[in-house]
Amino acid sequence: MARVVVDVMLKPEILDPQGQAIAGACSRLGFEGIEQVRQGKRFEVEVEGEVDEAKLADVRRLAETLLANTVIENFEVRPA
Amino acid sequence: MTARVGVVTFPGSLDDKDAARAVSLAGAEPVALWHADADLKGVDAVVLPGGFSYGDYLRCGAIARFAPLMSELVPAARSGALPVLGICNGFQILCESHLLPGALTRNSSLRFVNRDQVLRVENARTAWTNGYTEGQEILVVLKSGEGSYVADEETLDRLEAEGRVIARYVGGNPNGSRRDIAGITNEHGNVVGLMPHPEHAVEALTGPSTEGLGFFTSILSHLAAGAPAHA
């Protein structure tokens, strides 16, 4: 069994009010010099056997079908 | 023959009973549809109600989109044949299904908004809005946490150019929706998505007005006319 990681982020042009709220909390907590925070999602997908190109292609298809909404989100797929 | 309007229940749907009641009040027969049955029971139109299908897990509407019922609904709706109204979570499901462009994201305030809301009807030619007049202002209910309509500028321009924005918020933008958009339609005018809740504004006893009933009487007129909708 092996693991594939899918990171999903809102596209840069999509407003991320949650990220903004977190950035606001950073400065209130005294973390200086933080200009922006954007919040995303990380999925850890366990697959049978070794991670090869075919498995990665399957997970990429899963990401664009279900894990990400490509209208508003970008995703990256990589072996863990 | 009385029109039969299906109302779909997903796990986590909340407003299916209210939607069915609105269908009855408008004079049609509501037909309960279950998400796990790939069977539309021969209904003439479908309402996807509000709520939190699948607990809003992953993204609102993202999992409901793949319910067995949707495999029959999506092609029929996409072809222009089957009228579908998606309210709130139903609107989110329509966007996730790519029956409507764009997406619904977290309110810019990050707060759940629950209030009476005035809308301006911008397109009174769809299957679900023909009972209104263009420019008419109606008072309905808004209750959503992820109601901010977003799409790229090109899509927004196209929606406006084609008259596919069917309603806008009046009196201030409650959730950050691009261009104050509260609802849109597809190119055939048979699929309509609306973030606020017309089904909660159909009776004086429980709603702020009865001005939401027009969505449900519109579909009756549309079906009685037997003509395809025009966007």
The residue ranking higher by pLDDT, A74 or B2, is A74
Query: Torsion angle, CA of A42/A46/A47/A53, rounded to 10 degrees?
Result: 30
Per-residue pLDDT tens digits for B106-140:
999 999 999 999 999 999 999 999 999 999 999 99
Task: Provide the chain A residues 13-32 that lie in CB contact (below 8 A) with chain B.
Answer: 13-15, 17-18, 21
How many Å lie between the alpha carbon of B128 and the closest alpha carbon of chain A? 26
CATH code of B4-102+110-225, in short, is 3.40.50.880
Q: According to the model, what pLDDT value does residue B227 have? A: 53
A29's CB contacts (< 8 A; 6+ apart) are: none
Q: How many whole angstroms separate alpha carbon B225 and alpha carbon B31? A: 21
| Beta-strand relationship, B4-9 and B181-185 | unpaired
pTM of the model: 0.94
Domain that holds residue A27: 2-79
Rounded average pLDDT over B207-211:
97
| DSSP letter string, B108-169 | TTSS-EEEEEEEEE----STTTTTS-TT-EEEEEEEESS-EEE--HHHHHHHHHTT-EEEEE
Complex ipTM value: 0.87
C-alpha distances in angstroms, A67 versus A40, A62, A70, B96, B226? Answer: 12, 7, 9, 11, 40
Q: Is the dihedral of CA B205, B131, B32, B9 positive or negative?
A: negative
Residue B51 has pLDDT above 60, yes or no: yes
Residue B147 has pLDDT above 70, yes or no: yes
Within an 8 Å CB–CB cutoff, is residue B110 touching chain A?
yes
Cβ proximity of B172 and B109 under 8 Å: no
Residue of A16, A42, A72 to mutate when probing chain B, most B C-beta within 10 A: A72
How much of chain A is helix, strand and coil, in % rounded to 5? 35, 30, 35
The catalytically annotated residue of B35, B60, B88, B211 is B88
Judged by CB atoms closer than 8 Å, whether chains meet at B148 and A15 is answered as yes
How many Å lie between the alpha carbon of B110 and the closest alpha carbon of chain A? 7
Alpha helices in A1-52 (DSSP H): 17-28
**Which residues of chain B does A14 touch, with a Cβ-Cβ cutoff of 8 Å?**
105, 150
Per-residue pLDDT tens digits for A14-62:
999 999 999 999 989 999 999 999 999 999 999 999 999 999 999 999 9
Our count of domains for chain A comes to: 1
Q: What DSSP state is assigned to residue A66? A: I
Q: Is the dihedral of CA B212, B214, B217, B223 positive or negative?
A: negative
Rounded average pLDDT over B40-68:
96
Per-residue pLDDT tens digits for B150-187:
999 999 999 999 999 999 999 999 999 999 999 999 99
Closest CA to B198 of B86, B92, B108, B80: B86
The CATH number covering residue A22 comes to 3.30.1280.10
Name the residue among B103, B108, B109 with its Cβ closest to that of A72: B103
Q: According to the model, what pLDDT value does residue B121 have? A: 98
Residue of A71, A73, A74 to mutate when probing chain B, most B C-beta within 10 A: A71
